[in-house]
Amino acid sequence: MRLTLFPRDIDGLYRLAPFATGALAALLSVTPIAVPGLAIATPAFALMVVYHWTIYRPDLLPPSGVFAIGLFVDLLDGTPYLGLSSLVLLVARSLVLRQRPLVANRDFAVVWAGFLVVAAIVTALEWAVTSILNEAPLGSRPFLFQAIVTAACFPVASYLLAWTQRALLRRV
Amino acid sequence: MLRERANIISVTNAQARLAARRLAVPFLIVLSLLLIVLGKADAVLFERIRVEAADRIAPVLAVLSQPAAAVSAGARHIRGLLDLYDENQRLREDNDRLLEWQEVGRRLAAENAALRALTGFQAKGATFSIAAQVIANSGGAFARNVLVDVGARDGVARGQAGVTGEGLVGRVTEVGERTARLLLLTDLNSRIPVVLESSRLRAVMAGDNSDQPRLLYLPADASITPGERIVTGGADGVFPPDLPVGVVASIDGDVVRVEPYAEPARLDYVRILDLGLSAFLPQSAVPPPRTTKGTKAADAH
């Protein structure tokens, strides 16, 4: 009878896949890769992960998971603003949940366009909060760069996440 | 009766769960904001949390940075192959120039030795340097720093300078037991006293998260030309004087920008210099390494 329990346990583990990809994205964002072109700004990998799962499997990446991923990102990044990424990712999740009917089951171009909108709003929010904390408006160029690099990297991340989803979560 | 009560309980349970789910996002958003505000109010506590987290995660990052280093090396190799001819040409020219410099250097060294003997000069306290591997690199829009795999146990202390063969990259701001964080020159919070090499004008080089930091507090009538070398001031007693920093890249009205010699995005290894001056800096939030604990453990074995 033990054997019948086994697949279900594995399924339970698979349900952690979205959170695991989030943690991996956080690690990836600080991994020192000197690929020419990626040097200007690190893409916000965690944002891509949150976007993907919120569209396709919001049940598997609850707000608490998003919050934890954000904290992990900030701790790794060594930013003086612990909690900022959590805030930004939670806002992104809420935004995506609202526009989900517009992008789910549509062409990839639509999904990508949705991501562009979310990335733009979220980057603007990040800029605003950081500016307030620094008590002076910050140069917008680094933020602009990051938003562009993030949007450009999204198709690759989306492909990998969809692959993960098909491989691990077909039954869950 | 019992069943009815059970039903009521399960209904209220479901309602409670629904309410909890609805409140989760606002609650977590408020929690995030609270963390941000607390982080600004109690920077010391949050620094300790960051250092502790970095120390814990360091082994994972060290493993991850290995394949990353291989990828970087591969990319560099391919670029190297493409540029082989130009590179060779450049190296020949460099070689000719350096041979001339070698001659000059020998003559100066001899002269220096003679003058030192004449004046009874004593060299300042020896600097030592620690080689460190970069295990994490934050290139986000609001943080430019690197995490290296050496910490307090290796003799790293707050305020020490991080350099590469090209020049200064940043200074140590957080020290854990086995990791340390270097704030890069380009970070928003980086302020480095520098000197313009030929005019000897003093300035403060301030990062703004772009690739080219700005020069602040220059005299209004200062004449600066693009391409002028910037070196560390040394008067602050934090950095060794005359470490190469970069060159003046552009002058646009009041805004003078510096192109650092060392490219932070391509850092694999850094050397951390100690002048023995870190004692003059404000004490770190992180307690000094507990050497007594280590020796006790060693005694026990």
**With an 8 Å Cβ cutoff, are B50 and A78 in contact?**
yes
Better-scored residue on pLDDT, A152 or B125: A152
Chain centroid offset of residue B120 CA: 38
Domain range summary for chain B, segments of one domain joined by +: 58-119, 127-282
Which residues of chain B are within 8 Å of residue A70 when distances are taken between CB atoms? Answer: 32
Amino acid A85: pLDDT = 94
pLDDT, mean over chain B = 81
Chain A interface, mutation test: which of B17, B23, B27, B32, most A Cβ atoms within 10 Å? B32
Return left, alpha or beta for B177; rule: phi > 0 is left, psi -120 to 50 is alpha, else beta. Answer: alpha
**With an 8 Å Cβ cutoff, are A39 and B143 in contact?**
no
Residue range B108-123, pLDDT digits in tens: 988 888 888 887 766 5
- Above pLDDT 70, what percent of chain B? 82
Q: How many CB atoms lie within 10 A of CB B109?
A: 10
Domain A2-168 fold is: Arp2/3 complex 21 kDa subunit ARPC3 (1.10.1760)
Q: Cα–Cα distance between A161 and A17 in angstroms, integer?
A: 10
- Three-state DSSP class for A37? coil
Better-scored residue on pLDDT, B81 or A12: B81
Which residues of chain B are within 8 Å of residue A138 when distances are taken between CB atoms? Answer: 142, 188, 208-209
Contact A155, A110 (CB under 8 A): no
- Three-state DSSP class for B272? strand
Question: What is the interface pTM, i.e. ipTM, of the complex?
Answer: 0.85
Contact B204, B218 (CB under 8 A): no
Which residues of chain B are within 8 Å of residue A149 when distances are taken between CB atoms? Answer: none
- A163 token code pair: 């692959």
- B301 token code pair: 């074995």
Residue range B143-172, pLDDT digits in tens: 789 999 999 998 898 888 898 888 899 999
Domain range summary for chain A, segments of one domain joined by +: 2-168
Residue range B3-14, pLDDT digits in tens: 666 666 666 777
Work out the pLDDT band at B274, boundaries 50, 70, 90.
confident
Contact B194, B161 (CB under 8 A): no
Query: Residue A83's closest CA among B35, B77, B177, B91?
Result: B35
Query: Residue B137's closest CA among B151, B128, B126, B147?
Result: B147
Question: Which range has highest mean pLDDT (A91-100, B38-47, B258-267)?
Answer: A91-100
Triad B73, B78, B79: Cα angle to 5°: 95
Q: Which CATH superfamily is domain B127-282 in?
A: Rod shape-determining protein MreC, domain 1 (2.40.10.340)
Work out the pLDDT band at B279, boundaries 50, 70, 90.
very low
Contact B61, A27 (CB under 8 A): yes
**With an 8 Å Cβ cutoff, are B36 and A82 in contact?**
yes
Report the amino acid identity of residue B278.
S
Q: How many CB atoms lie within 10 A of CB B152?
A: 23
Q: Cα–Cα distance between A117 and A95 in angstroms, integer?
A: 10
- B58 token code pair: 């360091």
- Three-state DSSP class for B7? helix
Amino acid A143: pLDDT = 84
**Mean pLDDT computed over A91-108:** 89
Q: How many CB atoms lie within 10 A of CB B213?
A: 31
Using a 10 angstrom Cβ sphere, with 0-12 exposed, 13-18 middle and 19 or more buried, the burial of residue B102 is exposed
**Mean pLDDT computed over B256-278:** 79
**Mean pLDDT computed over B22-44:** 90
Chain centroid offset of residue B293 CA: 29
